Amino acid sequence: NPEVFILAIESSCDDTAAAVLHNDKVLSNVVANQLIHNQYGGVVPELASRAHQQNIVPVIDAALRKANVQKEQLSAIAFTQGPGLMGSLLVGSSFSKSLSLALQIPLIAVNHMHAHILAHFIDEEGYDKPEFPFLALTISGGHTQIVKVNSFFDMEIIGETTDDAVGEAFDKSAKILGLPYPGGPLIDKYAQLGNPKAFVFTKPKVPGLDFSFSGLKTAILYFIQKKKQENPNFIEENLNDICASIQYTIIEILIDKLKLAVQQTGIKQIAIGGGVSANSGIRTRLKENPYGWKTYIPKFEYTTDNAAMIGIVGYQKYLSNTFETASVVSKARIQF
C-alpha cells in the first residue's frame, strides 16, 4: 500500500473538526466545540454555520501543525457530505473543494453515519477492529440505527428510530430536569452516583428492530410534574437517582433491540458508535460481554463528532479510488 496522508474535515452539526491521518493511524484530531448553543437549549443552525466559518481555518492549521504534516504532503482531502445541517455542511465542503483544487489532490466525500461506524477501523493500540459482517448500533443526537455491516461500503439499516434519536431522549430528559444543553453527558455524570432502580419508567412497545423514544420523554415529563406537585424540591433531592433510572431505561431499550438483532441475524459481533456511545453506562454494560457477544466500544475521542472518523473512511475510499469532482453536493439527508 502507498503512504497516504489524509486531511479530514467534519462540520455536519455544531463541532468544527479536522484530523490528519497517516494510513489508518491518527496523527492529530482537533475539535472546536461551539459553546454558543448552550444558552439556547439546542443547536441554532445559523449560528453554527457562522461559527464553522470562524473556526475552520484555525482548526485545520492546528491539525496540520500537531500532525507535523505540510499541506504539500497531503494525498487527499476528505469531508463530511451529510447528513447534517446544510449551512454547516457547506462550510466544510466548500473549504475542502477549494483546498483540493489549490493543492491539486483528490477530494473524497464521506457519509457521517458510515464514519461513526467505521471509526472502529482506526489503528489504535488496545482496540480490536471488527470483522465483517458485524452489527453496528449508531446512537447520536440525530440517529438511532442498527446497521448490518457487510463490508466497508455495504451496509443495511435493519432497525431505526421512528421518532426521537437516543441522544435527543437524553437531551430532552435533561431539559425537563432543568439541565443545560447538551444534557446527555450530565445525565451520565449524575447517573453514576444514583440508583438505577429507584424509579421505574416503562419501556415502549415497538415491533421488530425499530425504536421509539418520544413516549419515554413524555412519561418522564408527567412523572416529574406529578412529583414536583408533591414536593417542589423533588428534582434537587433526587437528581442522581432520577438520572440513573432514566439512563438505565434507555440502555435496557437499546440492549433489548440488540438481543433481537442478534437473534434475527445470527451475528454476535456488535460495535457501537456516535455521541451516545460515550455514555459510561452503555460502555460498562457492553464491556461485560453480555450474552456471549463480542463488543467493540470506540475510544472515547472517537465517540462524539470528530474528523478522525471521517479520515478513516477517506483512507478506505482513497485505497479504492473513490473520488469526487468539485461539483459534488452536500446532502442534509443521505441514504446509506
Residue ranges of the annotated binding site for substrate are 138-142, 171, 184, 188, 279
Residues 3-42 that bind ligand KG4 (CB under 6 A): 13
Among 170, 201, 213, 318, binds ligand KG4 (CB under 6 A): 170
Q: Does 249 bind Zn ion (CB under 5 A)?
A: no
Beta carbons within 10 angstroms of residue 83's beta carbon: 20
Residue 294 φ then ψ, to 5°: -100, 115
Q: Report in angstroms how near the CB of residue 32 gets to ligand KG4 at its nearest.
A: 13
What residues form the annotated binding site for Fe cation? Answer: 112, 116, 305
The three grid cell numbers given for residue 84, joined into one nine-digit string: 447534517
Question: How many Å apart are CA 234 and CA 236, to the nearest integer?
Answer: 6
* Pairing, β 294-296 against β 107-111: unpaired
Among 124, 168, 305, 324, binds Zn ion (CB under 5 A): 305
Element (H, E) at 183: none
Binding partner of residue 170 among ligand KG4, Zn ion, none, CB cut-off 5 to 8 Å per kind: ligand KG4
Size of the residue set binding ligand KG4 (CB under 6 A): 18
Q: Does 140 bind Zn ion (CB under 5 A)?
A: yes
Binding partner of residue 24 among Zn ion, ligand KG4, none, CB cut-off 5 to 8 Å per kind: none
Cβ within 8 Å of residue 281, ≥6 positions away: 188, 191, 192, 196, 247, 248, 251
Among 87, 92, 141, 194, binds ligand KG4 (CB under 6 A): 141
Please identify, among the stretches 69-77, 182-190, 251-259, 289-297, the one whose residues bind ligand KG4 according to the rule CB under 6 A. Answer: 182-190
Q: How distant, in Å, are the alpha carbons of 28, 96, 177, 314 from that of 108?
A: 19, 9, 42, 6
Among 55, 81, 111, 304, binds ligand KG4 (CB under 6 A): 304
Exposed/middle/buried for residue 109 (C-beta within 10 Å: 0-12, 13-18, 19+): buried
Residue type, 120: H
Taking residues 265 to 284 in sequence order and writing x for each that binds ligand KG4 by CB under 6 A, - otherwise, the string is ---------xxx-xx-----
Please identify, among the stretches 134-142, 197-205, 293-301, 318-326, the one whose residues bind Zn ion according to the rule CB under 5 A. Answer: 134-142
Element (H, E) at 303: none
Cβ within 8 Å of residue 13, ≥6 positions away: 43, 48, 84, 85, 88, 141, 142, 305
Cα four-point dihedral sign 165, 166, 167, 168: positive
Q: Report in angstroms how near the CB of residue 194 gets to Zn ion at its nearest.
A: 27
Among 87, 182, 298, 314, binds ligand KG4 (CB under 6 A): 182
Vertex 317 angle, CA 312 and 319, to 5°: 100
Please identify, among the stretches 42-50, 58-66, 74-82, 303-311, the one whose residues bind Zn ion according to the rule CB under 5 A. Answer: 303-311
CB-nearer residue toward Zn ion: 6 or 31: 31
Binding partner of residue 278 among Zn ion, ligand KG4, none, CB cut-off 5 to 8 Å per kind: ligand KG4
Q: Minimal CA–CA distance to 32: which of 5, 4, 53, 3?
A: 53
Q: Does 142 bind ligand KG4 (CB under 6 A)?
A: yes
Q: Which positions touch Zn ion (CB under 5 A)?
A: 140, 305
Q: Which positions touch ligand KG4 (CB under 6 A)?
A: 13, 140-142, 167, 170-171, 182, 184-185, 188, 274-276, 278-279, 304-305
